[in-house]
Amino acid sequence: MAEHSEIIEIKPELTALFNDYYAFRNELMDAIAKKPKKIVLDLGKIPVMNSISISSLVWFCKNAKSEGIEIDIREIHPDLLKTFEVLKIDEYFQRI
């Protein structure tokens, strides 16, 4: 499969995360399928995530890495970062 883009940027919307639980996962899966060199994920406008979104994010990071795709999480909303700290996954997302 040929590369369609060098860099893909994803800026999820909070309403989309909660109106369609799998929309975020599908967006992440689609980005990996395009096989870019890098995926930039901006979570700066997402103060909360449900468990499906968090598990999708973990899945995404693992699968992108296994495909050799660089992940750059540019922003993590401070409230979401607190959730990641409680779940003990904060360092994982900050150092992808």
The Cα–Cα gap between 85 and 67 comes to: 27
State percent of the chain over pLDDT 90.
Answer: 62
The whole-chain average pLDDT of the chain stands at 88
- Per the domain annotation, does 64 fall within a domain? yes
- Per the domain annotation, does 95 fall within a domain? no
- Per the domain annotation, does 11 fall within a domain? yes
Provide the pLDDT for residue 94.
61
Domain containing 17: what range?
5-90
- Per the domain annotation, does 96 fall within a domain? no
Provide the pLDDT for residue 30.
95
- Per the domain annotation, does 32 fall within a domain? yes
Q: Are strands 70-76 and 38-43 parallel, antiparallel or unpaired?
A: parallel
For range 78-88, the mean pLDDT: 92
Tell me how many domains the chain contains: 1
For range 3-15, the mean pLDDT: 84
- Per the domain annotation, does 27 fall within a domain? yes
CATH number of the structural domain spanning residue 48:
3.30.750.24
Residues sharing a CB contact under 8 Å with residue 27, sequence separation 6 or more, in sequence order: 10, 12
